[in-house]
Amino acid sequence: MAIILDGSDAIGDLGDALDAKLTTPGAWTAYTPTWAGVSSTGGVSTGAYTQIGRTVHFWANYVLGTAVSITAGISAPLPTGKAAGSEVLVNGVFIDMGTGYYAPLVVGQTLYAARAGVSYVDAETPSNTIPFTWATGDKISVTGTYEAA
């Protein structure tokens, strides 16, 4: 790409453009994840992501409705493809509204209930009663970062 400077205004414009690119983070784009391992009637799924260069940052939330069904490890799809061989760094929380917060054990992109053993923490498959009895308004929240394809 060639840059032709033919006056002081062009130099100022170029400087402004570079400042904007270097100091303004990427815009957030909404996406609606289709969660695996969890469903409910009237549950609300929301999420957003931003991509800066090849780095993608994302968050996703699922607020449970009625008739909750949790049958396996819980996961949300990534908003964009990831680079082959790269890993996804994911953090999450299970929120029992009005009662407490539970840090899940994350394996790959899947959230499991953390169970403390004598020597280590183990992953237990979440269910309608693990790690707590899920109800309307409870929330599953994840954030993550990965390299885009």
Asked whether residue 17 is assigned to any structural domain, the reply reads no
Quote the number of domains for the chain. Answer: 1
Which is it for strands 55-63 and 36-41: parallel, antiparallel or unpaired?
A: unpaired
Asked whether residue 2 is assigned to any structural domain, the reply reads no
At residue 58, the pLDDT reads: 96
Q: In the chain, what is the greatest distance between 2 CA atoms, to the nearest angstrom?
A: 73
Asked whether residue 9 is assigned to any structural domain, the reply reads no
Residue numbers of the domain that contains 101: 26-147
At residue 114, the pLDDT reads: 87
Asked whether residue 51 is assigned to any structural domain, the reply reads yes
Asked whether residue 48 is assigned to any structural domain, the reply reads yes
At residue 120, the pLDDT reads: 78
Asked whether residue 138 is assigned to any structural domain, the reply reads yes
Asked whether residue 56 is assigned to any structural domain, the reply reads yes
What residues of the chain score a pLDDT lower than 50? Answer: 1
